[in-house]
Structure 1
């Protein structure tokens, strides 16, 4: 078959190229401690959008560093006094939660929906700023010039996903044993982050996840498009790559391949083998480190695009309908 990356045989054994920080586990334990200490101050406001079978609300909570995070919350009306499943949805890079109508088939099946806007991107969630250095290109490098790697913006966004999961699990209509997560591209990355940092996530369906194995992306000359800020950062701030190892090691704190071994839920992951936005090898670097039950949906001739019938397979995987 044509190849944009490694052969499938090599992909299945690939372990990643990006360096892992020595204090990676301590870094994330400290991050989770900060998250758990945050006062969420959850607030729900009725949405202007209404439907007969579900209640639609704009939910807000306070994440780490004081940012107010916005979530589209759909609560089915047909549950009675029973608890039902919940599905957390995460969107692509620079985007926002989808239209309400994109989630109604889950609510119609009795699942509560929580669709989060990533902070500082295209939705209503806040980015509180407060870091030194370049902020011209994107969120991967946001905080990279800070002396403290805990200022990396994607650290905060990853924590937002786990905090949202905890909030969802505490809702009276939600069965905490049936909380699931899904998303495509950055949404796939945040799905992995959520299930890594909140291992009670029972099932997860990431599709061609972003934010994995940054050094591999750069070595493949694919630091463009979604990863363009990597190239721009080096060109502007380290043009001779004198700090290359330092920079990639720091990015290792927000490299999902190193969080993936914390996942305990069942995984269905979609991948297009011709993907030149999030190269398959970078995705496999994370997938191969997942120790829980898992399976792949592989599309040999597809790239970073719609994957036929995968939405249907994810729906059936998550809700068993």
Structure 2
């Protein structure tokens, strides 16, 4: 049984959404803007205490002047290995509890867990884009005359800036940093490693934000991608601008970013995923040219994947 394409076809699938002609220039310009920002940050000690790690709220100023928040967990000096992992959360969520970060600190790994701006955490949202924000963030900035106002452009740059801050810390070996996340977090793990080629490990669990046209053609109107349909209903009910819409979404489509990854990748996919259909995930995975492995769960969807958290930690420890 399968929700989407047969597995053999998935391994050949390379996506339906377009690649903007100036895609590389778009992101090089974005990274140049980011390089102009200082890597300053503020640490505020957390009320959460641990015998093996120091826990802080970390704040930095991102593109557009937004105050961005992350949880920062640094293992005690005697167990620190110099390794770091940047974690990303699911759509509408936040950086989560301290507990899972402590598990990494127990193995000597420093964790920086980002709050996406304007979602469920403490990060500020400074995007000043024209147009609607119906039901979610994918379409934020889609109607603006300037593609630089796309919401996810800012978030992707936040992931890179957070990684640069971590890599620049005295106790961190910049050659031993990885990214990790599920759903939106999986997409951000991919995007971050695509824009920062020094990332050595990427663990992405059923990533979101991929192959938007395929999702729309499949009529996936659920809580993750439904805003695309809402956008057309409100802004273009006869779909006169459909080509322009999907071309612009191509700037933030992880299937267009994934070929830039240099580090090792483990990708986790549930074959019954109705939220981020397997084909959308394979569109990005198949374009990765770096060392990669996809782990298939035939009976699982967009849900808790057994043992993957344990496996992720064990894999990160190998670096």
Bin of the TM-score, shorter chain as denominator length = over 0.9
Q: Deviations over 1:2-52 (max 9, x none)?
A: 110001111011000001111000000000001111234311111111111
1:44–1:59 contact (8 Å) kept in structure 2: yes
Question: Structure 1 residue 156 and structure 2 residue 154: aligned?
Answer: yes
Cα distance in 1 for residues equivalent to 2:102 and 2:126: 32
- The Cα of 1:172 is off from its aligned counterpart by 0.9
Say if 1:76 and 1:107, in contact at 8 Å, map to a contact too: yes
TM-score for the superposition, normalised by structure 1: 0.97
Q: Is the 8 A contact 2:105 2:111 kept in 1?
A: yes
Give the SS at the match of 1:50.
Answer: coil
| Residue of structure 2 in register with 1:72 after alignment | 71
Residue number in structure 2 paired with 1:304 = 302
Question: Unaligned stretches of 5+ in structure 1?
Answer: none
Deviation of the 1:312 alpha carbon: 1.2
Long gaps (5+) in structure 2? none
Give 1:242's match in structure 2, choosing from 240, 243, 255: 240
Residues 88-134 of structure 1: CA distance to partner in whole angstroms, max 9, x if unpaired? Answer: 11000000001001211100000001000001100000101311111
C-alpha deviation, 1:198, in angstroms: 0.5
Distance in 2 between residues matched to 1:73 and 1:319, nearest whole Å: 18
Secondary structure (helix, strand or coil) at the match of 2:59 reads strand
Residue 207 of structure 1 deviates from its aligned partner by 0.4
RMSD: 1.2
Which ranges of 4 or more aligned residues in structure 1 deviate by more than 4 Å? none
2:134 to 133, 136, 158: 136
CA distance in 2, matches of 1:225, 1:56: 33
Provide the C-alpha distance between the structure 1 equivalents of 2:27 and 2:157, rounded to a whole number of angstroms: 9
Task: Measure, in 2, the Cα distance between the counterparts of 1:38 and 1:165.
Answer: 14
Task: Please report the TM-score for the alignment, with normalisation by the length of structure 2.
Answer: 0.98
| 1:158 CA drift (Å) | 0.4
Q: How many pairs were matched up?
A: 319
> Aligned partners of 1:149 and 1:129: how far apart in 2?
12
What residue in structure 1 maps to residue 21 of structure 2? 22
For 1:196 and 1:129, the matched residues in 2 are separated by 23
Matches within 5 A, 1:84-163: 84-163=82-161
